[in-house]
Amino acid sequence: MSIGEVHPGWHAAESAVAKSPEYVLKLWLQQGREDKRATALAAQAKAFGIPIEMVSRSALEKQSRVHQGVIAWVKSQALPAEGELFALLDGLEHAPFLLVLDGIQDPHNLGACLRSADAAGVDAVIIPKHHAVGLTPAVRKVACGAAESLPVFQVTNLARTLDQFKDRGIWMSGLALSDQAVSIYDAPWQGAVAIVMGSEDTGLRPITIKQCDRLVIIPMLGTVQSLNVSVATGVVLYTALQHRR
Q: What is the pLDDT of residues 71-119, one digit of tens each?
A: 999 887 767 778 899 999 999 999 999 999 999 999 999 999 999 999 9
Within 8 A by CB and 6+ apart from 132, the residues are 101, 102, 103, 104, 105, 110, 199
User: What is the average pLDDT across 213-226?
Assistant: 91
Prediction pTM value: 0.80
State residue 1's pLDDT score: 37
Angle separating helix axes 229-244 and 107-119, nearest 10 degrees: 10
Per-residue pLDDT tens for 25-46? Answer: 999 999 988 899 999 999 999 9
- CA pair distance 150, 110, nearest whole angstrom: 13
Amino acid at the residue 103: G
User: What is the average pLDDT across 116-124?
Assistant: 97
Core vs surface per residue 161-184: b (16+ CB within 10 A) or e: bbebbeeeebbbbbbbeeeebeeb
State residue 116's pLDDT score: 97
pLDDT at residue 233 tops 90: yes
State residue 2's pLDDT score: 52
State residue 38's pLDDT score: 92
- CA pair distance 114, 91, nearest whole angstrom: 22
Share the mean pLDDT of the chain.
91
State residue 16's pLDDT score: 87
- Cα distances from 228 to residues 82, 113, 172, 206, 221, in angstroms, run 28, 11, 21, 20, 15
Q: Set out the domains of the chain in order of their start, with CATH numbers.
A: 5-74 (3.30.1330.30), 82-244 (3.40.1280.10)
pLDDT at residue 208 tops 90: yes
Tell me the pairing of strands 182-183 and 214-217. Answer: parallel
* CA nearest neighbour of 193 among 172, 165, 215: 172
- CA pair distance 133, 104, nearest whole angstrom: 6
Alpha helices by DSSP H, the chain: 10-19, 36-47, 57-63, 82-91, 107-119, 137-143, 146-149, 158-167, 206-211, 229-244
pLDDT at residue 19 tops 90: no
pLDDT at residue 228 tops 60: yes
- CA pair distance 225, 77, nearest whole angstrom: 39
Amino acid at the residue 234: G
